Amino acid sequence: MLGTGFVKRRAVSLYKRAHRWRENVLTRIEYVQKESARWRLAFNTIKLPYNLLTMAGFSPRMAGTLIFAGVTVGGGVVANETVLSGYSFARGDPGIYLAPADTPIEYSSDNQTLRVDLGGTPVGEIIIEDVSIGTSYTGSTIPQAVTEVIVVGGVSTVSTYLEVGHLVIDRWRCSKLTFSNIEAYELNVKWNSSDGQSIAPIAGVPRPRAIGGGNRADSMTSSGGYYDLIKIRAPTSGKNGQVDYMRLSNIYSKGGNCLVDRLKVGTLDIILNEIGNGDGFDDKDFIIEDSVIYKTFNSVDNYEVSISPPS
């Protein structure tokens, strides 16, 4: 019959062997997990330029060709630095974003410009809210010769438009706000206050509009931020930007004008904006030009009141 001491020694020995086996297994698992994370980061770094180029509308073959050419001249370093930098549209960081990517393709510490370029990939929604732009915050500056601190729309030099299913512009504070070259099936202009206004859209036959596109891109949402300029545009020749729903809300600007130009919209809501430069009613600060064409137009309680420039 085995003694009590032998049983105890045997149990302790078995426990120690099991402990060593467990620790060895856990060590190997941790090593594999770390290596897996490193490989994922490496592959994401490599594939980022390809994804960005295909989102911009390049064919897979052309994207691969451009990446190959870029690698031979060291272009991959920029992508790697961008991935590791941590800049993000969702967090309100400035930079140049190729919609719908959350990481900028270009960032400079010398300016605070937020630029969103659309074209090739339809986007479900873009929401930017609660931001200050231009010279509206302490220490801010804008580039020389800049007249608009926010620009939304297509680009005339490459003959593009932004196509939007539903665009909401509300609670902007601008020295001057102009709408031009727009087709809107339904145009709603409600409860805006301005230091002089000219609302002169023309009736026409724009069609209803929504943006589908099947497996379209995810949403882009950003709340809070400080920028010298905001530009949302379609800069690629022959490719209109496409967004199903866009809301630009509670934007406070100073130091330049606000411009919405070259859009084709299903529903355009212009609501509760405050526009004025303190120059009297004769100088129109809230302008909807006769190049804005609508099928249905609702104008409700838009007031001319004395409004000083943004403080």
For residue 282, give both structure tokens. 């004769």
- Identify the residue with better confidence: 168 or 101: 168
What pLDDT is recorded for position 75? 38
Q: What percent of the chain has pLDDT over 70?
A: 76
For the segment 229-243, the average pLDDT, to the nearest whole number, is: 95
> In terms of C-beta distances under 8 Å and separation of at least 24 residues, what long-range contacts does 43-48 make, across chains too?
44/83, 45/76, 45/79, 45/80, 45/83, 45/84, 46/76, 48/79, 48/82, 48/83, 48/103
For the segment 182-205, the average pLDDT, to the nearest whole number, is: 98
| pLDDT grade for 23, boundaries at 50, 70 and 90 | confident
Dist CA 207 CA 203 (whole Å): 12
- With contact defined as beta carbons under 8 Å apart, do 159 and 240 qualify? no
Amino acid at 269: D
Query: Residue ranges per domain, the chain?
Result: 1-85, 88-304
- pLDDT of 14 above 80: no
- pLDDT of 200 above 90: yes
What pLDDT is recorded for position 241? 95
For the segment 88-100, the average pLDDT, to the nearest whole number, is: 93
| pLDDT grade for 39, boundaries at 50, 70 and 90 | low
What pLDDT is recorded for position 84? 34
